[in-house]
Structure 1
Amino acid sequence: MKKFFLIVFCLILSMLLNIFPAHAIGNTSSNIYEVKSGDTLPGLANKFDTFVEEIKVTNGLQSNTLFVGQKLWVPMMYEVVYGDTLREISSAYNSTVDMIKTTNGLSSEQIHVGQRLKIIPKKMTMQGQYILMTREEFGDWLFHNRFTRKISLIQQHHTWLPSYKQFYSSNHFKMLKSMENYHVNKMGWKNIAQNITTFPDGKIAVSRPFDMAPEGSIGDEANSVGIAIENVGNFDIGHDVMTEEQKETIVYITALLCIKFGLTPSVDSITYHHWWHYRTKERVLDNSKEYEVKTCPGTGFFGGNSTISAKTYFYPLVSRKMQEISASMH
């Protein structure tokens, strides 16, 4: 009889462990590593039992250069505590349930207290230097990184061509490579001109490395301290109507960049290509003749391409989004 009650007790205890989860995430270990002086990618790969390319793809690194204070997702060993689930663990440590199962040879999601699991962070979607990501992934990437170039101006552009007609929902990298080829082979620039590209589906591509000033017809004064955002589409009135996904992305990443680089939305911190003279490269704002400037980022870009439109429609959206993001970070 005692044996029977012991078996029943163990069964009930087992059920309670699954029904009433506690928190994995009181475990103090972390898989975010902050780069220190003297760190190298080969050294970190050896330290965390991984490969250089794995670290690069996991963190969206466009080169082998590291900066002190930069944060990197790295593999880690995690010891299961009472109440843990694979879904909670994967969410807390930037992984997936399937990755944890595959890495640790698990046939199900069942885990037990004291079990040690190797957690490998998710890889980013990359081709060459291009990193394709969601808004949230871009936020993590941006705030994990350190940049040596002074950045005090965010440029807004539209591609004009390619437009929405050339976007097929899965050809992000093909479009980027096509733009790069045109910029290098036809325009004579060193790389793709823009640092960031946004797409109609709301995706973002980090394109030209941030520590390389953008190139293009806006001129050296704006480029030297600028981050160029190229928004895929022709946003002149009568052409592409911007999707809600792309609108949200443009506002969101502009807000993130303002927070990252300590900028307040104004004509001095967020600029439109339309405000710069086509030949002299001087900033003319709204004081120009039609043939002296481009319409970029479009006569239909968030209410128009004038400074009045930016102040009335675009800057308030960015300011509100900055407040939302800052509140969520705290």
Structure 2
Amino acid sequence: MRKKLVLIFEIIFSLIFLTMPPVLAAEFKPSNMYVVKAGDSLPVIANKYSISIEELKVTNGLQSDVLIAGQKLWVPIMYEVSSGDTLVDISFAFHASVETIKAVNGLTSEQLYADQVLKVTPKKLTMQGQHILMTKEEFKEWLFNTHVNREIRLIQQHHTWLPSYKHFNGSNHFQMLIGMENHHKNTMGWRNIAQNITTFPDGKIAVSRPLNIIPEGTIGPKANSVGIAIEHVGNFDIGHDMMTKEQQETIIYINALLCIKFGLTPSIDSITYHHWWHIKTKERVLDQTASYNVKSCPGTGFFGGNSTTSAKTHFYPLISDKMEEILETMQ
């Protein structure tokens, strides 16, 4: 029986391998992923792969020139076409886009021929200053390529309250981020924008304050010292903004990704609401406090409410389910 099972497995594996596009069958993971080593610098890596430092930063969503050993970077690659390859296959295998491959190589059609050599340049992220704007799928790749060198035990949930949905027009992500950054620095006296991550009504995600830097804000040093702060654009107190489906999906998705990345299990000890922390003492009080001693943040209507019961009933199970779904796709 054991020999039969092994034989069946080998046959299935061979069939999968033979039906793969050539570019994927040759390697099961992209070869244009560079793992940063001790002593590496952006100029050295950029020179090695004939790319500018700015292109390297935008391609990988780098917020500074500092690199950390173990960090992963997408870099350009010269690829020799095999019989049966398509631009779609190549773009998928090497984190690129069909349009970019055609433009870089001066292709007027998608027709390829064997032994043709193509320069494949990875896709670029959308950045303005320190702010990186991504889809949730782009955030997943960015997060797992990023090396975080501090302990993360707590994911904070906040809502902006102001600005709210009425201030979002579908294309002013960066204007809103810069506005928050200026308010936090000039009015609140903080060194930078307080939150690490921001979600928007259209489901987009922004990373602003680097994950390697602890967040700031009124939640206090205990929550911040081992935390990542997520600010959800909107006023989610009952009677105000009704959260969009796109933003709901993104909030669940990124919390699941962060739990996977940092080995967390969704609970009141790993995913926290600002509402559970005393304004003056900065201690965690959960549901045991008078309303004037806490903020309603992330909102009385946030996934069923801002109580611990609401989180356990309506928020954590969704994150746990999404974690299982993501992990299945990563196997």
TM-score by length of 2: 0.92
Q: Which moved more, 1:118-127 or 1:86-95?
A: 86-95
CA contact (8 A) 2:158 2:231 kept: yes
The one-letter code sitting in structure 2 at the alignment partner of 1:214 is P
Deviation string 1:22-75 (CA, Å, 9 cap, x unpaired) is 432223461111111221110000110111111100000001111111111000
Report 1:243-262 matches (<5 A): 243-262=244-263
Report 1:91-106 matches (<5 A): 91-106=92-107
The one-letter code sitting in structure 1 at the alignment partner of 2:181 is E
- The equivalent of 1:190 in structure 2 is 191
- The equivalent of 1:272 in structure 2 is 273
- Amino-acid identity (%): 68
CA contact (8 A) 1:24 1:82 kept: no
* 2:107 aligned counterpart, secondary structure: coil
1:21 CA drift (Å):
9.2
Tell me the matched-pair count: 311
CA contact (8 A) 1:21 1:84 kept: no
The one-letter code sitting in structure 1 at the alignment partner of 2:163 is P
Q: Which moved more, 1:248-257 or 1:29-38?
A: 29-38
Quote the Cα distance in structure 1 between the aligned partners of 2:317 and 2:24: 37
CA contact (8 A) 2:194 2:209 kept: yes
Quote the Cα distance in structure 2 between the aligned partners of 1:191 and 1:73: 28
Q: Which moved more, 1:311-320 or 1:32-41?
A: 32-41
- The equivalent of 2:116 in structure 1 is 115
CA contact (8 A) 2:286 2:308 kept: yes
The one-letter code sitting in structure 2 at the alignment partner of 1:296 is C
* 2:236 aligned counterpart, secondary structure: coil
List structure 1 runs of 4+ shifted beyond 6 angstroms. Answer: none
Quote the Cα distance in structure 1 between the aligned partners of 2:203 and 2:40: 35
- The equivalent of 2:324 in structure 1 is 323
- The equivalent of 1:181 in structure 2 is 182
Quote the Cα distance in structure 1 between the aligned partners of 2:233 and 2:106: 43
CA RMSD of aligned residues (A): 1.1
CA contact (8 A) 1:275 1:293 kept: yes
Quote the Cα distance in structure 2 between the aligned partners of 1:205 and 1:278: 27
CA contact (8 A) 1:22 1:82 kept: no
- The equivalent of 1:209 in structure 2 is 210
Quote the Cα distance in structure 2 between the aligned partners of 1:22 and 1:319: 34
Quote the Cα distance in structure 2 between the aligned partners of 1:75 and 1:178: 35
Quote the Cα distance in structure 2 between the aligned partners of 1:27 and 1:58: 24
* 1:46 aligned counterpart, secondary structure: helix
CA contact (8 A) 2:164 2:241 kept: yes
- The equivalent of 1:6 in structure 2 is none
Quote the Cα distance in structure 2 between the aligned partners of 1:300 and 1:22: 48
The one-letter code sitting in structure 1 at the alignment partner of 2:183 is Y
Quote the Cα distance in structure 2 between the aligned partners of 1:304 and 1:197: 20
Report 1:129-168 matches (<5 A): 129-168=130-169
In the alignment, is residue 73 of structure 1 matched against residue 77 of structure 2? no
- The equivalent of 1:35 in structure 2 is 36
CA contact (8 A) 1:21 1:82 kept: no
- The equivalent of 2:25 in structure 1 is 26
1:110 CA drift (Å):
1.1
* 1:257 aligned counterpart, secondary structure: helix
CA contact (8 A) 1:21 1:83 kept: no
- The equivalent of 1:9 in structure 2 is none
User: Is there any run of 5+ residues in structure 2 with no aligned partner, and where?
Assistant: 1-18
- The equivalent of 1:10 in structure 2 is none
CA contact (8 A) 2:279 2:293 kept: yes
Larger radius of gyration: 1
- The equivalent of 2:201 in structure 1 is 200
Report 1:281-292 matches (<5 A): 281-292=282-293
* 2:216 aligned counterpart, secondary structure: coil
Q: Which moved more, 1:300-309 or 1:100-109?
A: 100-109
1:101 CA drift (Å):
1.1
CA contact (8 A) 1:129 1:207 kept: yes
Quote the Cα distance in structure 2 between the aligned partners of 1:260 and 1:22: 30
Deviation string 1:198-231 (CA, Å, 9 cap, x unpaired) is 0000000001111111111000000010100000
